[in-house]
Chain A
Amino acid sequence: MKTLKRPRSLSATGFLLIVTIGLFVLMYAAGMLAFSGQGFAKPQMFLNLFISNAGLIVISCGMTLVMITGGIDISVGSVTALVCMVVAYQMERNGASAFTAILFALGIGLAFGIVQGFLVAYLDIQPFIVSLAGLFFGRGMTAIVSTDMISIKNETFLAWAKYQIYLPFGSNNKKGIYQPAYIYPTVIVALLVVLFIFILLRYTKFGRKVYAIGGNQQSALMMGLNVRRTKFEAYLLDGFLAGLGGFLFALNSCAGFVEQAKGLEMDAISSSVIGGTLLSGGVGNPIGTLFGVLIKGTISSLITTQGTLSSWWVRIALSALLCFFIVLQSIITSRKQKQR
């Protein structure tokens, strides 16, 4: 019998995470080498990845959470649109303060989380169907609030949105003047969320329960874990993050309109997948998801910087990558099944 202590083998989680991070580093390094003239090597270019994707990072973290439980939430795009719209409407038409607007955003997210979580966890309705309803509901509500495009002009809000936090490094611009690199507050929020979810998943009972449910729901039940409640909490948190992400999105776009953030749910799903989240549940990591979002961002900035390649290559490259990861996952899972 081979009962020797085997060296720790690389788990599926670790492997997928390494592939993702490796790919990102490789891609970015290639970009720096090829387009150093166009500013790719500048720190600001790198930070812009975070700035423009802060909302998506937060939303994708929520998505990762529910995907680990083996579920899905396709309503996040609509929730984002609703949040942006309500935030804009309350501030511009009802004269609400920016602080109240935050409460509105989080409240909407929580409301979605509670309802969807209840339907999924306690009534055992398929997550896809529940969140499909949420998708239409959210978009419909957005239209009810207003069909116009509302730009946000609230001063406090704009001050938040444009508050540059300078970092102790930078680069010289074309004229040779030193410019410190900066980020917006949204980036800090997004990174805090990633850290928070990481700690939550790794170091709390709740987090481990989430993994256990995704790994084998029946087993989790038999081991005495409260599956329904954990699922509910996961959707609740996902809804909350969708609300928060929506607010960050609003800070970035400074406007609300009905068609906003359409298809964002698919961006979040594909970022999670590229980040190594297994669709069947049980495997995933917010760090991977962060890199998933960054990879998406890098591809588009690579192709825009390159200049001669047209914008549609972003989509094609992205889906080729997605295809690669999905097939890779499928192979990993089927190999595991064969081992049994």
Chain B
Amino acid sequence: MPEAKLTPPGQKKPLWRRIAGHHLFLPLLCLVIVLLSNLIKTPDFFAITIQNGMLRGYVIDVVNRASELVILAVGMTLVTAASGGQDISVGAVMAVSAAVCCQVLSGGEVSVTTFSNPLILAVLAALLASALCGAFNGFLVAKMHIQPMVATLILYTAGRGIAQLVTNGQITYVRVDAYKMWGSALPGLLFPVPVFFAIAVVLIVSLVIKKTALGLYIESVGINGNASRLVGLNGTKIKWITYIICGILAGIAGFVSSARIYSADANNIGLNLEMDAILAVALGGNILGGGKFSLAGSVIGAYTIQALTTTLYAMNVSSDQLPVY
């Protein structure tokens, strides 16, 4: 039927309007502004040199340091989209995961130079622990209908305590190169290893969302819970799943973070990262009230925050995040 199309799709709009209308436009603009202001203030910001087969420079530093934040932002995006609330326990869950991982590796010693248990076992244990944390949050939010922020406040408070309980209050060091390598730069790889983790997480999660109907389900439940129920979606289950995913991702971030410093510092790993992750989601153009989401936006948001922080450090100003809002 010819009249089925009221306005012809897209083509006739001027190009700049289409770009400006794209949902990633604003997040990208933020990133570009931050980067440009760097270029003006610190001309060598974009300088990249190759040392020992690795790239070095401010930009690489930003990309490297943002890795954990990117991973968290991905999980936070899903949680936000489905439940219209945020998980403020992710930083604490990172600490739990790091503690479990290092404790398994060290076999209970404070400092070891060889693995007591295989790495894979440690990672699995860490991820299991963080998945449990996520499941606990999910239970409170999806089943008990407690506001997400308040529900996750419990683990926010408990998380670091549990982490210290696991490590007996000590900072467990795992001085093994095979562990350190996950958090450092390896010759010949060009980029530091954490960057690959971030990329892998983003790719896998986008793939899962593309290859299953999860993305569609999350958006439906987040936009209109009633209608979603009537088309046969189980909102409780879907919210629960997002919290578990968010927990696991926080676990991965915790592993990366502990590998960087080859230790589990329960008090400092992932400290205050939860608010940064929420900010990344908001900067990415996602509505904190839930609904449609864009992983790419959150990822850009995360890099923007890190670029900003690094910039300000480079300019000898501390974490002043004023211009952001």
Contacts and interface: CB of A to CB of B under 8 A. Distances in A.
Whether chains A and B associate is: yes
Interface of A: 72, 126, 128-129, 132-133, 135-137, 139-141, 143-144, 147, 258, 262-263, 266, 269-270, 273, 279-280, 310-316, 318-320, 322-323, 326-327, 330, 334
Given A132-B279, A143-B319, 5 more contacts: A128-B288, A266-B156, A279-B150, A310-B168, A318-B158
A322 B154 contact: yes
Nearest to B267: A312
B158 A330 contact: no
Contacts of A319: 154-155, 157-158, 161
Nearest to A147: B318
Interface in B132-154: 140, 144-147, 149-151, 153-154
Contacts of A320: 158
A101 to B, nearest CB: 23
A137 B323 CA distance: 9
Given A129-B282, A135-B275, A141 B322 contact: yes
Contacts of A143: 317-320
B289 interface: yes
A77 to B, nearest CB: 10
B288 A269 contact: no
Given A312-B161, A316-B158, A140 B150 contact: no
Interface in B227-246: none
Given A135-B275, A312-B161, A144 B322 contact: yes
Interface of B: 86, 88, 140, 144-147, 149-151, 153-158, 160-165, 168-169, 266, 271-272, 275, 278-279, 282, 288-289, 317-322, 324-325
A323 B66 CA distance: 32
A320 B159 CA distance: 11
Nearest to B149: A128
Contact of A133 (B162, B164, B169, B325): B325
A96 B289 CA distance: 44
B161 A316 contact: yes
B103 to A, nearest CB: 14
B100 to A, nearest CB: 14
A334 B144 CA distance: 9
B158 A140 contact: no
Contacts of B320: 140-141, 143-144
A266 B152 CA distance: 11
Nearest to A258: B318
B37 to A, nearest CB: 16
A188 B317 CA distance: 39
B279 A136 contact: yes
Contacts, number: 111
A312 B322 contact: no
A108 to B, nearest CB: 15
Contact of B169 (A280, A311, A326, A327): A311
Contact of A314 (B161, B272, B289): B161
Contact of A326 (B146, B275, B279): B146
Contacts of A330: 144-146
A139 B319 contact: yes
A270 B153 CA distance: 8
Contacts of B288: 126, 128-129
Given A132-B275, A132-B278, A326-B140, A140 B322 contact: yes
Contacts of A137: 321-322, 325
A256 to B, nearest CB: 14
Task: Report, nearest first, the 7 A-B pairs whose CB atoms are least far apart.
Answer: A315-B161, A319-B158, A312-B164, A143-B318, A319-B157, A312-B161, A316-B161
Nearest to B86: A128
B324 to A, nearest CB: 7
Nearest to A324: B154
B169 A322 contact: no
A316 B162 contact: yes
B85 to A, nearest CB: 8
Contact of A140 (B145, B146, B321): B321
Contacts of A263: 272
B121 to A, nearest CB: 24
> Considering residues A140, A263, A280, which has the most beta carbons from chain B within 10 angstroms of its beta carbon?
A140
Contacts of A132: 275, 278-279, 282
A318 B157 contact: yes
Nearest to A327: B144
Nearest to A334: B145
Given A139-B321, A327-B144, A322 B149 contact: no
B272 to A, nearest CB: 6
User: Which of B145, B279, B322: most chain A CB closer than 10 A?
Assistant: B322
Contacts of A310: 164-165, 168-169
B307 to A, nearest CB: 15
A334 B156 CA distance: 24
Contacts of A144: 317, 320, 322
Given A310-B164, A330-B146, A266 B318 contact: no
Nearest to B88: A266
B120 to A, nearest CB: 28
Contacts of A269: 150, 153
B274 to A, nearest CB: 10
Contacts of B271: 262
B321 A315 contact: no
Nearest to B316: A147
Given A136-B279, A144-B320, A312 B165 contact: yes
Nearest to A315: B161
A315 B157 contact: yes
Contacts of A128: 86, 149, 288
